[in-house]
Every structure is written in C-alpha cells, then in structure tokens.
Amino acid sequence: MLRFLLFLFNFLVILNLITSSAIAEEKAQVKDIRYYEVSESFRVVVETTGFVEFVKGELKNPERLFFDIKNAFLNRELKKEYLVNNPIVSRIRIGQFDANTVRVVFDLKGTDYEFKVIQLEDPFRIVIDIYQKGSSKSSKILNDRESKITLKRKIVIDPGHGGKDPGAVGPSGLMEKDVVLDIALKVKDLLKKDPSFEIILTRDKDIFIPLNERTEIANKVQADLFISIHANAAPNLYARGIETYILNWTDDEEAIRVAARENAISVKKMKQLKGELGFMLASLEREAKRDSSVKLAGYVHNSMTESLKSAFSRHDNGVKGALFYVLVGAQMPSCLLEVSYISNPEEERLLSTDSYRMEIAKAVVEGIKNYFLHTDNIKKVKYTKHTSSKSRLSGQNKKRTF
C-alpha cells in the first residue's frame, strides 16, 4: 500500500507541474546553453523544449552578435553570463529580453567573423557556429553528419533491479540483477568509443535504486534517451524470446503480467490501476514523447531480434505497451527491454555466457545509433555577416541589449 501511495503521489506531482505550465503552453523554455571548441569554430548549443523561431542581429561599439528567440521564456536556473577564453568570442550573455523573447548575446573580439546556424529536433536545439572569416570553415556549408557526430547525445542506461531486489532468478540460480548490470556496462563501454555519446548508468554496481528515482536521474541530466534493461520470467519454463515495451496501457494479459512483475505488485493491482491512472497517462503522453519512444523501441528491438536471431535463434515477441513504473515521468524517449527469459533453462544458460551478453549489448548499441540516424531531423539555416540598418543600433540605444 505504501508503494502504491508513493507512486500516486509522484503521479500527482507530475500532473501538477503539467497543469501549472498550461498557461504558458504555447511558449517554449530555453532549457540549457552549452559551448564547445569545434575545429576552427566556436560552437554554441541552445536547447529548448520545443520548436522556436528566432531572429539574429549585430551591434557595434563594441562588436556583438545576438539571437532573439521568440515566444520563449528562460530557465531561471541558467547562468546569465559565461566568460569564454576564445580567439573569436569573449563572453556569452543570456536573458529575458521581454515577456516573450529570450536574447542570447555574443561579445566578440573583432569584426572579422562569419557564422552559420542549424536547428536540430528531438530534443530541440539551435546550434550556432562562429568562425573567423577566411578560415577553411567559412568555405563549406555545415555538414549534417558532422553536426550529429560533434553534438553529444546523453543516454541513460538503467540496469533493472539491484541490491536487495534480485529481480527474476533462473532455474540454476542466475539473478536478473547481475545479468542486466553486466549488459549495461558492456553497452556503456561500446558507446564510449563514439565521441558523440555521453553515457550515464543509473547504477554501476549491485545497489538498490527505487523505480521513480531512475527516471529522475535521466531528467536531471536532461538525457536524450532512457533505456531500462531487464530479463523476463514466466511460470511456463518454455516461454522464450525478446520483447520491448513502451509506457502505455494495455489489455494484453501477458504484458500486464510482465509489468506487474517488474513493478513488484500483483496482476490484480495492475488491472485496478487502469481506471485510476488512465487519464493521467493521457495527460502525460506529450511529456513522455510517446511517438519518439515507439521509434526508439522499434529500432532497438529490430536490432536485437535480427542480431540474435541469426546467432542464437531468439524468438521475436514484438514491441508492446505496458504500465511500467520505471518509465513513468521520463521526459525523453524511453523504452524497456526484456532481453531473454531467465526462467527458461536454455536462455538462462545463454544469459550466463559473456558472448551472449556482448551480442545483446552490441545489438542495443546498434539500435540506438539507428534511432539517431533515422530520426535526427535537421533544419539548416545559413547566415553570413552583413550590415542591417534595423539590427545595427547606435551607441545611444543600448539599454535593452544586455
């Protein structure tokens, strides 16, 4: 009962946050700002909660470049000023220019510069490259593939269970918590080889973490993806194969059973939750990025079934929806993997081998890369430095430029 009350409390907190922001539903929040040294240019990434329109301008005496992000409000926790040790940019400033506009200002060290801008989706970002005129960077258009590689993606991998919670236990005593931790560590090691990924594990050792805290970790680091890894179990020792889940209600008895086991409640209680939580799931659908989660689950699942089918003859149980507590509250595309049935003696034996776990990890990594490759929509906007009477303000008209 206590676990259920805590779960309802967390749901109500999330629902309250959504309701409280309904007034500003049409506005996007400027969530974060990051900057990097990239080749011969200075790159700034402005992350927002939705698609935004923006205009650019240039100011003289001193030299400044600014971007006005329309119909937006600023994350109050963001720093308002960033000192930069760069040959082109000396400082970045950001603030709420007016009630509907966030302004990002670059204090520049000279006039001999150019810049290009792209917009990326899922999550939404404005990417600004500033470089010295005449550099090799200025002679080519910003490459889509290069942008995907140089912009780090934060991926949170969640090994299920842990500590006092062993998860499912196989006929020979193999514990789910140990299997999925090893797979998660392998996934991390493989993804670390690609500089475009930053990988965070919810646990990297045998410790217990409550279900609600796992997505909180992903939300706190503003992750791009959240993937929870599990091993399945069933009373039928012949049950086998791979299945992948997204957060959704279902009437499928097997999906309800699996979710009930992972949530550590009874099947009866899971069915009771349908009426109590169905309307909340509908409210959370946009926040949970359901469509992106479906795509993520599809790419990872297809990668696992194709890879493991050829090598280990695994059975494809499909992509399904179920009410998994661990996915509730995720603010990014998310899914839960059931990589094999630990209750099946044959699959338990496979899960006990390093080679099979590595094949699973490689398949997960391939699925993640395929997701970004096929869903990372890029909108390119090319700008070059020019003089505009509207954007060049006199020295007497500086009071609203930060």
For 157-178, what is the mean pLDDT? 96
**pLDDT value of position 116:** 87
Inter-axis angle of helices 211-220 and 2-20, to 10 degrees? 30
Residue position matching structure tokens 């005129």? 133
**pLDDT value of position 291:** 83
Pair 89, 71: CB distance under 8 Å? no
How many other C-beta atoms are found inside a 10 Å radius of the C-beta of residue 329? 24
pLDDT level of residue 323 (50, 70, 90 thresholds)? confident
Structural domains of the chain, ranges and CATH numbers in brackets: 28-142 (2.60.40.3500), 152-375 (3.40.630.40)
**pLDDT value of position 131:** 86
pLDDT level of residue 381 (50, 70, 90 thresholds)? very low
- Strand 316-322 and strand 242-247: the pairing is parallel
**Strand, helix or coil for residue 65:** strand
DSSP state of 111: S
CA distance 243 to 341: 10
pLDDT level of residue 170 (50, 70, 90 thresholds)? very high
pLDDT level of residue 145 (50, 70, 90 thresholds)? very low
**pLDDT value of position 327:** 82
Return the exposure string of 94-114: e unless at least 16 CB atoms fall within 10 Å of the residue's CB, then b.
bbbbeeebbbbbbbbbeeebb
- The distance from CA 121 to its chain's CA centroid, rounded to whole angstroms, is 11
Q: Is 51 exposed, middle or buried (0-12, 13-18, 19+ CB in 10 A)?
A: exposed
Q: For residue 123, is pLDDT > 90?
A: no
CA distance 308 to 320: 19
Q: Give the model confidence (pLDDT) of 330-378 as tens digits.
A: 888 999 999 999 999 999 999 999 999 999 999 999 999 999 888 754 4
Q: For residue 220, is pLDDT > 80?
A: yes
What's the token pair of residue 308? 């493991």
Q: Is the pTM of this model over 0.75?
A: no
Q: Give the model confidence (pLDDT) of 225-268 as tens digits.
A: 999 999 999 999 999 999 999 887 555 666 666 666 666 555 56
pLDDT level of residue 11 (50, 70, 90 thresholds)? low
